[in-house]
Amino acid sequence: MTIEFHQKPGLVVYLTIGDPDLATSKQIALAAIDAGADVLELGVPFSDPLADGPVIQRASERAVRNGTRLDDVLALARALRTERPRVGLVIFSYLNPILRMGLEKFAAAAEQAGVDAVLVTDLIVEESEQYRAVLHRHHLQPIFLAAPTSPDNRLARIAEVSEGFIYAISRVGITGTQQEVAGDARDLVARLRRYTQLPIALGFGISNAAHVAAVAEFADAAVIGSAIVALIERSTPQQAPSAVGEFIAALRAPVPSESAVS
């Protein structure tokens, strides 16, 4: 499949799979899709998630304690592909779990599960040639992160080898919510536009309808992660699917203008 964004902006939703448990993760994922998520990033829990803020770190720790493994994430992807065929499915992982499974074995299993793309958060584009070759043999799209601090020649390289979409980081640092979309984000997206026709999804800190509306002005999609993971953390397993569905549906709600609320 090819990843598609069915609305403007598209919504990419990150979930830490196995938090609070695998059965609930499936119900949350289905609720997210039904509420309007175009793409799901299925987060593989890892014991040392250095790029993540405290919210996703805690979720990853809970999922690891539950015994959630990469095999479990791929099994969930297979179920979601069967039940919601149109959704984009991205395996979001650190490199270590993939190497533990074996890159070739992982790519074959991901292809069989119906996964569209893979994003390895700690694999830099300059060291990705073998990884990309294996993914391509199994019809998987590599997605890479682009940061505001990246020089233009690196953005050009990221754009050259990325498929599906490019994940633009709105700010440097770890994941987590913020009050407003970082000012560097618009400039980063404009710089990337020089090198690619791919959709550009903006993430890190997107957490409400105002953020999504702001992103829609210059990017193709918004990535929502920490805000949803925090909502799951605050909810019981029974409450979490409906809470996530309502939250995602509200992200597309009209944002009142300043004059209307003054």
Catalytic residues: 41, 52
Residue type at 134 in one-letter notation: V
CA distance 258 to 262: 6
As given in the structure block, the two tokens for residue 20 are 């609070």
Three-point CA angle 221, 38, 95, nearest 5°? 80
DSSP H stretches of helix in 176-252: 184-193, 209-216, 226-234, 240-251
Prior bond of 241 cis (ω within 30°) = no
Q: Is the dihedral of CA 132, 110, 67, 21 positive or negative?
A: positive
Parallel, antiparallel, or unpaired: how do β-strands 88-93 and 117-120 relate? parallel
Closest CA to 227 of 13, 58, 3, 11: 13
Residue type at 114 in one-letter notation: G
